[in-house]
């Protein structure tokens, strides 16, 4: 081999490490998203839908929820509702939307899943155009609309992503809601690309809207604390939100991705208020000093330093932002890792860190698609990115090797992860705007093992949201935070999944609970899910 051939071989993307197999049809998914479009090109038609992988019936097998739009008033075309699909435990799903009481009209966009009342069953918060909905899981396979009863009624807006987190660490999950712009059909602005035909407007045509923060009183009701917490800000045009701990003080902070406005980073002051620190932390603007069009976001310890970084999807020509977290703020590593050049021509939405091939390194998945099919020079449907983390500072786009269907261009929007077939790796659910949802089964064939932790808080919130799980293994340490939200309009399963390569045991697992309690468990076998109740020894479960 010549020196040049050797250099090319070393620079080439790694061989396929994972196959994402399209099982959409075999699993029984026949969903098609309804934008309600009738020719007037209303702004909300470009954004949805979100999705979720959740275990709504607590049988241990992840189910699927798919958000949907509806017809605009005065322009009926077809009936459409969101869709809830129950996992049959054999690779297929059954539509239980009507039986669950979810077959109601609603222009839906996003979904946030968590057990807000600590009764052991996951509840739903649905966002969209108009009045958002809080749906309490009855534990009998149905959901009850408690929006008004909970104090969340009489608030209309244009809401996008939402997130459950315990910002005051009182054991009750609070609710953060992103709002995009001030828009209604009657306030729609005429925008055009050619001076004749109406096109979809950018958010710059509309005034921004503040996000909302609702404090959980612990009695089934919520208090609007947006203003007194320091989060009221009508300049925001928010699409994505993620929880992280930027100063490692044990209190949850917030990152909010804004579209054409500076991103916001809210540090928790530990007294019920937040301080905005995005500019000083280096995440408000792009490297050129201008605000980008932030869409989706996720946080994760992709460098295995114990400090969380951020990935943010942006408009085309703006590239994905990849921020490494340091004790002194964030540094954008997108260019030097290879992510910037690979994502320059794509417009990203949902994004998530996960260990696709279970080698112990967090990879990055992003789905892409344009907002307008009439823009010249830009593809409307775009292929996703699966960036494989080589552990040496580089990310390689291996989407093409992951499967023909997966790599096919799509108008991607929502993205969620969960192990629907319970084989130890994380599978992929994604949605498209005005098109189908896709389910991809992750087939890891390299012999790598994983270890998973499903938390149950006692003094902490029951879901353990905000807890940090650390494993110590032969190759060092890894951390995962239990979180809702992240991605774009979507919710993934809450369990923490670690890839450990070929290791059959790990030295130790440390769980730092939101209550402040720290639990340590030594010499755990891999290839298992551990049910960890706060303050008790873990219970090992087989994946299947």
**Rounded to 5 degrees, what are φ and ψ at 282?**
90, 20
Ramachandran category for residue 233: left, alpha or beta (phi over 0 → left; psi -120 to 50 → alpha): beta
pLDDT at site 11: 54
Q: Is 65 exposed, middle or buried (0-12, 13-18, 19+ CB in 10 A)?
A: buried
pLDDT at site 78: 81
3-state DSSP assignment of residue 442: strand
Locate 321 and state its tokens.
Answer: 């932002």
Considering only 241-250, 324-333, 360-369, which range has the smallest mean pLDDT? Answer: 324-333
Considering only 2-6, 19-23, 187-191, 506-510, which range has the smallest mean pLDDT? Answer: 2-6
pLDDT at site 2: 55
pLDDT at site 5: 46
**pLDDT of 489 higher than 70:** yes
Say if CB 297 and CB 241 are below 8 A apart: yes
**pLDDT of 57 higher than 60:** yes
CA-nearest of 345, 355, 417, 352 to 383 is: 345
Locate 385 and state its tokens.
Answer: 């990115």
List b or e across 405-441, with b for residues whose CB sees 16 or more CB atoms inside 10 angstroms: ebbeebbbbbbbbbbbbbebbbbbbbbbbbbbbbbbb
- Tell me the β-bridge partners of 444: none
User: Per residue in 127-144, pLDDT tens?
Assistant: 999 999 999 999 999 999
Alpha carbon distance 327, 335 (integer Å): 21
Sheet of strand 51-54, all strands in order from the earlier edge strand to the far edge = 51-54, 63-66, 83-87, 93-95
User: Per residue in 1-44, pLDDT tens?
Assistant: 455 444 444 555 555 578 999 999 999 999 999 999 999 999 99
Between 75 and 20, the higher pLDDT residue: 20
DSSP 425: S
Mean of the pLDDT values across residues 149-168?
97
Say if CB 54 and CB 44 are below 8 A apart: no
pLDDT at site 8: 42
**pLDDT of 544 higher than 70:** no
pLDDT category, 194, cuts 50, 70, 90? confident
Say if CB 300 and CB 329 are below 8 A apart: no
The pTM of this model reads 0.96
User: Per residue in 441-459, pLDDT tens?
Assistant: 999 988 999 999 999 999 9
User: Per residue in 264-291, pLDDT tens?
Assistant: 999 999 999 999 999 999 999 998 899 9
Neighbours of 88 (CB within 10 A): 13
Share of the chain above pLDDT 70, in %: 97
Residue-averaged pLDDT of the chain: 95
Mean of the pLDDT values across residues 324-332?
92
**pLDDT of 323 higher than 80:** yes
User: Per residue in 242-251, pLDDT tens?
Assistant: 999 999 999 9
Alpha carbon distance 311, 352 (integer Å): 8
3-state DSSP assignment of residue 231: coil
pLDDT at site 193: 85
């Amino acid at each position: 081999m010549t020196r040049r051939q050797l250099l090319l071989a070393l620079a080439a993307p790694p061989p396929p490490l994972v196959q994402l197999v399209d099982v959409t049809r075999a699993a029984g998914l026949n969903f098609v998203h309804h934008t309600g479009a009738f020719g007037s090109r209303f702004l909300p038609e470009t954004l949805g839908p979100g999705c979720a992988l959740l275990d709504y019936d607590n049988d241990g097998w992840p189910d699927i929820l798919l958000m949907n739009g509806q017809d605009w008033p005065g322009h009926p075309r077809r009936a459409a509702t969101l869709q809830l699909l129950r996992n049959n435990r054999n690779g297929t799903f059954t539509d239980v939307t009507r039986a669950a009481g979810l077959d109601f009209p609603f222009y839906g966009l996003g979904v946030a899943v968590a057990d807000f009342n600590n009764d052991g069953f996951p509840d739903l918060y649905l966002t969209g155009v108009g009045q958002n909905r809080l749906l309490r899981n009855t534990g009998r396979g149905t959901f009850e609309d408690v929006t008004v009863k909970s104090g969340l009624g009489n608030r209309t807006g244009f809401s996008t992503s939402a997130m459950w987190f315990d910002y005051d660490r009182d054991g009750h999950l609070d609710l953060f809601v992103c709002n995009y712009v001030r828009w209604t059909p009657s306030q729609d602005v005429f925008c055009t690309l050619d001076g004749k035909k109406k096109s979809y407007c950018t958010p710059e045509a509309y005034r921004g809207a503040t996000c909302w923060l609702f404090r959980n009183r612990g009695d089934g009701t919520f208090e609007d604390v947006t203003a007194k917490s320091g989060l009221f800000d009508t300049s925001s045009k928010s699409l994505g939100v993620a929880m992280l701990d930027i100063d490692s003080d044990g209190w949850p902070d917030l990152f909010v991705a804004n579209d054409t406005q500076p991103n916001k980073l809210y540090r928790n002051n530990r007294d019920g208020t937040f301080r905005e620190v995005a500019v000083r932390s280096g995440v408000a603007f792009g490297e050129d000093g201008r605000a980008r069009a932030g869409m989706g976001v996720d946080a994760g310890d992709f460098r295995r330093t114990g400090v969380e970084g951020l990935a943010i999807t942006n408009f085309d020509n703006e590239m994905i932002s990849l921020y490494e977290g340091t004790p002194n703020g964030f540094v954008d590593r997108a260019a030097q890792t290879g992510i910037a050049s690979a994502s320059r021509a794509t417009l990203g939405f949902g994004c998530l860190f996960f260990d696709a091939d279970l080698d112990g390194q967090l990879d990055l998945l992003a789905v892409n698609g344009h907002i307008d099919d009439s823009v010249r020079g830009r593809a409307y449907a775009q292929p996703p990115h699966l960036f494989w983390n080589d552990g040496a500072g580089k990310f390689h786009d291996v989407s093409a090797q992951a499967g023909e269907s997966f790599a096919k261009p799509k108008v991607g929007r929502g993205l969620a992860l969960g192990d629907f077939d319970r084989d130890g790796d994380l599978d992929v659910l994604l949605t498209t705007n005005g098109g189908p949802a896709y389910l991809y089964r992750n087939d890891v064939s390299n012999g790598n093992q994983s270890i998973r932790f499903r938390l149950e808080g006692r003094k902490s919130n029951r879901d353990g949201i905000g807890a940090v799980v650390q494993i110590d293994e032969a190759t060092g340490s890894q951390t995962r935070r239990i979180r809702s939200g992240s991605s774009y309009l979507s919710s993934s399963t809450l369990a923490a999944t670690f890839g450990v390569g070929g290791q059959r045991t790990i030295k130790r697992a440390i769980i730092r609970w939101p209550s402040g309690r720290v639990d340590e468990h030594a010499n755990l076998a891999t290839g298992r899910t551990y049910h960890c109740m706060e303050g008790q020894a873990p219970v090992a479960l087989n994946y299947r």
